[in-house]
Amino acid sequence: MNQPLAAMKTYLAGARVLLQRGRSEEALSSFQRIDDLLDRMGVITRQLKSYARKGGEAFEAVDLRAAFSSALGMMEPQLRNRTIRLTRNVPRYPVMVYCDRIRLEQVIINLLRNAIDATKSVKEPLIEIRISAGAHAYLSVRDNGPGVSDMEKLFEPFFTTKKPGEGTGLGLAISSGIVSDFGGRLTAHNLSGDDGTGAVFEVELPLHQPGNEARKPQAAA
């Protein structure tokens, strides 16, 4: 289900009809569903609040390697709970981007969390992180899970294959919004054949050149 509000209206209308016909037992079960949906919306609201920034953007020069390290640090408890092999391919030199560091870390945390979830039923779970610099700055997260089941809907708000309470389907919708606010893009593809199985998510951001701040997205906001 991807529209809690619409679903709630449907259950409410159903409950009304059931009550009018004196079928109160069935009406009660509709109310229970509405109650569950309200819980779910509570989770969504909390998540949205955690993404919202109070004092507006705080753009600065950020080393992608440092943002990744601190995002990984925050995911350590979840990673320690499972025996996931984590490989990283990070250059020795800084990979500078110009953005709001906290929000960039939120994007990375989201990708890591999705990768951890995706490898839940994999025998030898593997997550591979790569950071590189070329025409742009790149950070990719690869896992050896089953891959994305629906590429078309992937970035749509409320698209989730997780059970209620385990996912709201907002992670990627918000993350891709954040990355485009930074003048970059978030893409995904599945692996197949010799490349193995799983999904790869890539964050692409403009490389930061000192002195270029005036042309960065923050100036337009």
Q: Which residues bind Mg ion (CB under 5 A)?
A: 114, 171
Distance of CA 132 to the CA centre of its chain: 21
CA atoms in the 13 A half-sphere facing the CB of 184: 25
**Residue 4's binding partner out of Mg ion, ligand ATP, none, with CB under 5 to 8 Å set by partner kind:** none
DSSP state of 211: T
- For ligand ATP, the binding residues in 158-187 under the rule CB under 6 A are 159-162, 167-173
Minimum distance from residue 44 beta carbon to ligand ATP (Å): 8
Q: Rule CB under 6 A: is residue 99 a binding residue for ligand ATP?
A: no
User: Segment contacting ligand ATP (CB under 6 A): 21-29, 74-82, 143-151, 205-213?
Assistant: 143-151
Minimum distance from residue 159 beta carbon to ligand ATP (Å): 5
Closest to ligand ATP by CB, 31 vs 159, is 159
Distance between CA atoms of residues 201 and 186, nearest Å: 7
CA atoms in the 13 A half-sphere facing the CB of 190: 13
Q: Are 139 and 130 in contact (CB under 8 A)?
A: yes
Helix intervals (H) in 119-199:
171-181
Q: Rule CB under 6 A: is residue 148 a binding residue for ligand ATP?
A: yes
Task: Give the residues across from 86 on adjacent strands.
Answer: 127
Residues near ligand ATP (CB under 6 A): 110, 114-115, 118, 143, 145, 147-149, 154, 159-162, 167-173, 199
